[in-house]
Structure 1
Amino acid sequence: MDLDDLLFRYFGTTDMWQVPPSAQIAGIERIEVDFWLATDRGHRFALWALLHMLGSAPDLDVAFKDAGDREAARNFLDLLAATGDG
């Protein structure tokens, strides 16, 4: 999934600085709904990663039943931490 596509889908722009707070909240809520409804593992992971970057991701143990998916999420968090963005 392309980050710009996700941002545009949920916020109507790829520039989060242009999104008013009320629209940010509404966009995050739509992402959360789609996350819980998603059945494709890759799509679900992309939505979780976006939620994490927006400060709204559910805990790994709640978000992912599969141990491999939880490990992938931990690796993602480690990579973010290594770049100083986590």
Structure 2
Amino acid sequence: MDMEHLLQRYFGTTDLNQVQVDAIPAATDRMQVDLGLEKDRGKRFALWSLLFMLDAAPALDTVFDDEADREAARNFMDLAAMAGPDEAP
């Protein structure tokens, strides 16, 4: 599951600039439900990452049981912070 697939699935486009602002809450609600149901570690991380970029990610300890996954998420957050608001992944 890559980011383009997630964007297409939840927003109907791979370009976030084309997403209507009022569509974001419903999409993030669906992503949060799917995140809670998803068992695959990679897919969970991809969903959480997109939710993070949309400022809707749940706390790490509620999403990731494995410390390595939590550390990967922290690294992602650090990289996003270093990129700045205009360059976030």
User: What is the aligned length?
Assistant: 86
Unaligned regions of 5+ residues in structure 1, if any?
none
Once the 2 structures are TM-superposed, how far is the Cα of residue 4 of structure 1 from its aligned partner? 1.4
2-structure distance, mates of 1:64, 1:2: 19
Q: Which residue number corresponds to residue 51 of structure 2?
A: 51
**2:22 is the counterpart of 1:22:** yes
- 1:6-45 matches, cutoff 5 A: 6-45=6-45
Normalising to structure 2: TM-score of the pair? 0.86
Structure with larger RCO (C-alpha < 8 A, sep 6+): 2
Give the drift of 1:19.
2.2
Q: Percent identity?
A: 57
Listed as ranges, the gaps of 5+ residues in structure 2 are none
User: Aligned equivalents of 1:24 and 1:81: distance in 2?
Assistant: 22
* Moved beyond 2 Å, runs of 4+: 15-22
1:74 maps onto 2:79 in alignment: no
User: Post-superposition shift, 1:52?
Assistant: 0.1
